[in-house]
Structure 1
Amino acid sequence: MPESSSGTSGTGVVPDDAVAGATPPRAGVAAGGPVAVDRETLRLALVVGGLVLAVLLGFGLGRMNAPADLARPAATASGATTGDGGMHAHAPGTGAHSHDGATVTQGGGDGAAGLSITSAGYTLVPSNAELTAGRAGELRFQIRDDKRRAVTRFAVVHDKPMHVIVVRRDLSGYLHLHPTMAADGTWSVPLGPIEAGSWRMYADFTAVADDGGQVAVVLGADLAAPGAYRPRPLPAAATSATVDGFTAAYTGTPEVGRSVPLRFRITGADGAAAPLQPYLGAFGHLVALREGDLGYLHVHPEPVRDGDEVTFWLTAPGPGNYRMFLDFQVGGVVRTAEFTLTVA
């Protein structure tokens, strides 16, 4: 809605005093005749005019010679990607965006999420940070606000109010879970048998504050499964992976600080494109974890596929090795293809 102006403009009525009380001509200036201009005034006008012309010419030449950039705008320092039609990485930040029309503020750091147990006034509180290796168990936790109250209001984002990722420190054993919440705000989800070692959990959610505002946050916490820990080496970087007879391959080269498209195509054993089914409101779900600190990037695809391809926009927050986990659904079964990615 255009802003209204409080002053008189354009075609408005001219006040009477603007005519009746008009300032008379200054001494030495003939009314209705040409105005005499001194040399200093003329010189100043020419200098100012020349500067304005130079600035305008420089701006025009700069626009004509600017190179075309087909990559999307980089994510802001807050981690919220701009200019992407609403698709974004669930990395932390302070930039506002929207989920189904609601304004959402992102909380956190500089492009990689899940590095802290507390962010944007919310804290992840695991009930059982120690797990039993080799045996099925249960993961329980709460999200608490800055007043230590258990949070019970969450927005449904990508079909779920809470997304939990669990992975071992060597980036093996990836699990993508969707817990259920009890009335007291305690979330719980069954865990199958896991290997011994140090694990990391991520709680990816959008909390609804008392004033109705929404805050998207990713929190992380360490878990332990005591026992003999035998870390596995990170597999070599590759652009294709096979799982249960399906091959997932992608094109695209991520860059630091720029949002770059990764185009995935999934084929069956016969080489034909797999009949992908929607999963979590899209045709794929991608999580990337950084080796070393396990910084977390949660990326969703374009809502419309380009032929048989599913396109994700990924901004690497820094150089290094990343492990990418692509969830896709065919025939009602969700499978995960894993890739190692090296960003220079």
Structure 2
Amino acid sequence: MHAGLRITAYAAALAATFGTAYGVGQGIGPVVDDAAPVRHGAHTGDGDPERSPDSGGAGHAGHAGDSEQEAPPAGGLQISEGGYTLDLGTPRLAAGRTTDLRFTIRGGDGRAVTAFRTEHDKELHLIVASHDLNTYRHLHPTRAADGTWSIPVALPRAGGYRVFADFTPEKKNAENLTLGADLAVSGAFDPQPVPAPSTTAETDGYEVKLVGALRPGAARALKLTVSRDGRPVTDLQPYLGAYGHLVALRYGDLAYLHVHPNGEPGDGTTRPGPTVTFTATAPSTGTYRLFLDFKHEGKVHTAAFTVRAGGAAAEGETAEEAPHESSGAHGH
């Protein structure tokens, strides 16, 4: 796991900005809609965020000191990388119509890739996000024998989206890749600003609080605590091989960050809540959206946060190191 924003409506010749849309289809994981409530009372970095050890955890570069280090490259900004290409067979959709979103991962020879490693319980993770980052979908499409992936999706609002394919080819020494491609949807659109920064999110009757701060070029621990009706949730269920799954996207270009969970179910030390800890490194200053997926009582829920990563230490940030469990984090 590891600059204005332009969103264009297909009906307007891809020239309008800031559109919002959402997708619904079979195999859909967690969902965040633009209508979800957002609380703005808290500031990013409240509390005492913990810092990760010098190793950075899970392969991320970075040190616990205040000086910035070289950040790991962000994913999703390229349609081709490492000899692989995301071939989006459905680059545009009509609003209000259920359509199969189809795509193929092609190798350097142009042939469709049909062998992938299973990571976080899936061969491939598909993320669809609106360019204003109000809407987020984590999907798990089905792969046909010829290497074509597909999933039914309905997008009732016009706007621009970014489609991310997160995968690792089944090949010796192959590395995890996140490729990205643009998706346009025709129809009326409703411009929305990115939600204001907050360290508290509410979803489906749950409240999730964030402690931690993204730092450019430095690995930091992000601690998310889940409660319901004022009581901590201590019986989270594994989802995609962890008690939580976190995706971070940078506002402006939708750069995709690989965020790594610390510990895993059954390792003898990681508890099933209420707190789930991740290690993340921001590649630059800027505004980011964090999307936490967690499973409880058989259902997957998503909590979304807007945070800002700056060059200086965030308000309330201390020099504490992240828990030692971060050294055992597994990749996305």
TM-score between both structures, scaled by the size of structure 1: 0.68
**Aligned pairs for 1:150-299 within 5 A:** 150-209=112-171, 212-299=172-259
Aligned to 1:71: 52
Write out per-residue CA displacement over residues 21-51 of structure 1, whole angstroms, 9 at most, x where no aligned residue. Answer: xxxxxxxxxxxxxxxxxxxxxxxxxxxxxxx
CA distance in 1, matches of 2:299, 2:51: 35
Report if the CA contact (8 A) 2:86-2:103 is conserved.
yes
CA distance in 1, matches of 2:285, 2:155: 33
- Out of 164-173 and 279-288, give the one that drifted further: 164-173
Q: Which runs of 5+ in 1 are unaligned?
A: 1-68, 85-92, 94-108
Distance change >3 Å, CA 296–CA 74, structure 1 → 2 = farther
Give the residue type in structure 2 aligned to 1:71.
Answer: S
Report if the CA contact (8 A) 1:255-1:343 is conserved.
yes
Aligned to 1:325: 291
Write out per-residue CA displacement over residues 61-111 of structure 1, whole angstroms, 9 at most, x where no aligned residue. Answer: xxxxxxxx95333769xx942599xxxxxxxx9xxxxxxxxxxxxxxx952
Report if the CA contact (8 A) 1:75-1:257 is conserved.
no
Give the residue type in structure 1 aligned to 2:118.
Answer: V
Write out per-residue CA displacement over residues 232-268 of structure 1, whole angstroms, 9 at most, x where no aligned residue. Answer: 1111101110001100111112211111001111001
CA distance in 1, matches of 2:152, 2:200: 31
RMSD between superposed Cα atoms in Å: 2.4
Report if the CA contact (8 A) 1:322-1:342 is conserved.
yes
Give the residue type in structure 2 aligned to 1:219.
Answer: L
3-state DSSP of counterpart to 1:183: coil
Give the residue type in structure 1 aligned to 2:60.
Answer: T
User: How many residue pairs are counted as aligned between the two chains?
Assistant: 249
CA distance in 1, matches of 2:55, 2:199: 23
CA distance in 2, matches of 1:166, 1:309: 26
The reply to whether residue 305 of structure 1 matches residue 305 of structure 2 is no
Report if the CA contact (8 A) 2:141-2:151 is conserved.
yes
| More helix, by proportion | 1
Give the residue type in structure 2 aligned to 1:305.
Answer: T
Aligned to 1:66: none
Report if the CA contact (8 A) 1:155-1:214 is conserved.
no
Aligned to 1:129: 91
CA distance in 1, matches of 2:76, 2:131: 13
Q: Which runs of 5+ in 2 are unaligned?
A: 1-49, 64-69, 264-268, 311-332
**Higher CA-based Rg:** 1
Report if the CA contact (8 A) 1:289-1:323 is conserved.
yes
State, as a whole percentage, how many aligned pairs show the same letter.
46
Report if the CA contact (8 A) 1:136-1:191 is conserved.
yes
Report if the CA contact (8 A) 2:201-2:209 is conserved.
yes
**Aligned pairs for 1:109-120 within 5 A:** 110-120=72-82
